Amino acid sequence: MGKIEKCVEIICEKGCQYVRKDIDLLEAGKSFDEVEGLTDDEKQMVLKELKSIMSVYGDSCRVDFS
């Protein structure tokens, strides 16, 4: 598994609401632990993948009980 896919997997494991927060951070050009060390292009790839994944949920997330 490549580092982009691994990063996306780790972010998604945090749950829907956290993924949306991380998308907002990436869109604002901010960094956080899971993307630390990635290039700007790699961060954009992560952002694109996260947005694609989250598009199936629309504007809502199912309740996370973790």
The pLDDT score that the predictor gives to residue 63 is 55
Q: Which of 49, 55, 53 is nearest to 7 (CA)?
A: 49
The string of pLDDT tens digits covering residues 3-58 is: 999 999 999 999 988 999 999 999 999 999 999 999 999 999 999 999 999 988 77
- For 47, the 3-state DSSP assignment is helix
User: What pLDDT score was predicted for residue 1?
Assistant: 76
pLDDT at 66 over 70: no
CB atoms < 10 A from the CB of 35, how many?
A: 21
> How confident is the model at residue 62, as a pLDDT?
62
Per the CB < 8 A criterion, the answer to whether 53 and 45 are in contact is: no
As given in the structure block, the two tokens for residue 55 are 């598009």
